[in-house]
Amino acid sequence: MFGLIVAFIAIIGLSAGGIAVVKEAPKAIPAISGAYEAVVNGTVPPALIVSAGNIFDAVEITGTHILKVCTPEARPAACDDTTLRKMAAAIKAGRPIRDGLEQFVADHPGKLGPKGAYDLLTQSISAIQQGIDAFNGAAS
Amino acid sequence: MTDNTSISSTTIARSILGVIEGLLPYALNAINSDTIGKIITVLQQIWPEIETEISDLATPVRNIIAALSGSAAATPDQLAALKALDQQTDAAFDAALADFNAAHPAA
């Protein structure tokens, strides 16, 4: 758990304008070059598409856990059917976007991907995350 | 009876996912390798908790580290790992949703 706290402090450091809590970044990490230009031009580096796909899967895994917790008859009070069904719908809606982006990366090796689809995927991730947050907020 | 262990795990998962999700905008706006390096360092710092507390999330986080550590071009290996994870994740979710819907039919 200590590591989590350290991680959050690091994130706060990043979001506060780059105050580097983590002082030593690995030297050998190549840059995702041209990311700034990619945003301006409406494209996204493939590494970020792959990362977003993995994040989508991560929130889907968490959603699966919540559904399992909420399935038995004697379930926690935090289980709200409306919220859970919205979360499930967001997962279903996000899958084809994820799949399409991954297929684009596979079909166009090394090319920048469409930011519009990437934005849709991150919106799906946020929608799923809202369901997870609602569950955890009610459970805490 | 409430499954406190599962709730605890999802709470931890939420925390870690919050970290990961929060990383994306920084990655997208990254203009130098230092920022990417910091992101990866954060992920590596929370790695022990991920591995021990919520092992299901280990694979996607490992994949994210691999993707961001490499060049801008995603490798075929990364894509293959992601597609395998997609199928596994979708199947598990579909099964859980089917069970949920069976136990709690929509009104």
pLDDT digits (tens, 9 = 90+) for A105-134: 999 988 888 989 988 998 898 899 888 888
Secondary structure (3-state) at A113: strand
Binning pLDDT at 50, 70 and 90, where does residue B64 land? confident
CA B58 to chain centre: 7
* pTM confidence score: 0.74
**In this model, does residue B88 exceed pLDDT 70?**
yes
Distance of alpha carbon A70 from alpha carbon A67, whole angstroms: 5
Q: What is the pLDDT averaged over residues B30-39? A: 62
Share of chain A above pLDDT 70, in %: 70
Q: Which residues of A touch B24 (CB under 8 A)?
A: 48, 51-52, 55, 122
A25–B32 C-beta distance less than 8 A: no
pLDDT digits (tens, 9 = 90+) for A27-60: 333 334 444 445 556 788 888 888 889 889 988 9
CA B86 to chain centre: 11
pLDDT digits (tens, 9 = 90+) for A86-97: 999 999 999 999
Distance of alpha carbon B31 from alpha carbon A31, whole angstroms: 8
